[in-house]
Amino acid sequence: MRVFLTGATGFIGYNLCLELLARGCEVRALARPQSARLLAGLPVEVVPGDLFDAAALGYGCRGAEWVFHLAADYRLWAPDPACLYDTNVRGARLVLEAAQRANASRIIHCSSVGAIKVTPSGEAADEATPTRLEDLVGHYKRSKFLGEREAMKLARAGAPVVVVCPSTPIGPHDFKPTPTGQIIVDFLRGKMFAYLESGLNIVHVRDVAQGMILAAERGCVGQRYILGNRNMTLLEVFRELSALSGVACPRVRIPYGAALTLGFACQALSRLTGRAPLVPLEGVRMARNFMYFSAAKAVRELVLPQTPPEVAIREAAEWFCAHGYVKRQTKLAGMNTAARLPKGE
């Protein structure tokens, strides 16, 4: 089976690529020249281009039975927020329309739980939670919400689109790393001196990749599925990392008001320097409410795997250590602390 995917050089996309190859799929992947090197060594046909390259999208989708759209601009701060909307809304529409024209039998659009309203009470939200654009904090979440609207609009018009919403994936091959991966790296480096009281829904990135394939096989057109697992506080994640690594867990909890003030100050500085803020204001605002979700629908309808989050945290930590992101000594079993550059650098 031939498949085409965007975002193959990203965290989830790379893991999806591995899962598709393991199933014997013929994989085409859209990639810009500067990031295509991450796919070196994989039996993947790289299609040079970006989301706005009509010829590249047309070629990639041609003959593909499944099309997975994962590429997105995932930033909590950008000098020009319009870039996020251009990629996450217009870019998404262009990919999905190209897949529809090519008569793909299934089109999987990767949205995010960020497009779903969280509750101040900490109750787990699900696919049916009422959400308005104004309920969402920040341009990233709003752009993903609008991109999902484009996907659902095409589904209502007859396109075989299924939407998936990953929660907070953790695991190997987090090259960049993602914001969550960076938290793990900073912890293992001993740079996490305090924490903000918050919570996340943790899921193994491999389960997310498998969930996307299951969505193509079993998902209902026009439906959305949360690909997640267990809700955990940030402190619980740190305690698990501490037990694995021997690195001390932070004991100081930062009051939300203090974190918000720091976020405003960092954002003001970023406007002057043009550099990303050390503490993104949007990240602080997001953390005010526990970002808890339920993956019950995906478990029930897709048979989404539920690898224990402890396994995801351990495999992520081991991968970061083995690939040179962490230079300090820890007690992680099998850890390689040799000073080696991460893949792709």
Q: Distance between CA 126 and CA 339 in Å, rounded?
A: 43
Task: Give, in order, the Cα–Cα distances in Å from 279 to each of 71, 187, 232, 265.
Answer: 25, 16, 22, 9
Q: Distance between CA 338 and CA 324 in Å, rounded?
A: 6
> What pLDDT shows up at residue 333?
46
Sign of CA dihedral 6, 11, 14, 20: negative
Vertex 72 angle, CA 233 and 172, to 5° = 50
> What pLDDT shows up at residue 344?
38
> What pLDDT shows up at residue 329?
65
Can you give the residue ranges of every domain in the chain?
2-171+202-231+292-307
> What pLDDT shows up at residue 51?
96
Q: At what angle do helices 92-101 and 54-61 cross, to 10 degrees?
A: 40
Q: How many CB atoms lie within 10 A of CB 234?
A: 19
- Select 2-171+202-231+292-307's CATH number: 3.40.50.720, 3.40.50.10800, 3.30.1130.10, 3.30.930.10: 3.40.50.720
> What pLDDT shows up at residue 18?
97
Backbone φ/ψ region at 122: left (φ over 0), alpha (ψ -120 to 50), beta: left
Compute mean pLDDT per 10 residues along the chain, 345 residues long, and list them: 96 97 97 91 95 97 98 84 95 98 98 91 91 91 96 97 98 94 93 87 98 98 98 95 94 81 77 76 72 97 98 97 84 47 37
pTM over 0.85? The answer is yes
> What pLDDT shows up at residue 11?
96
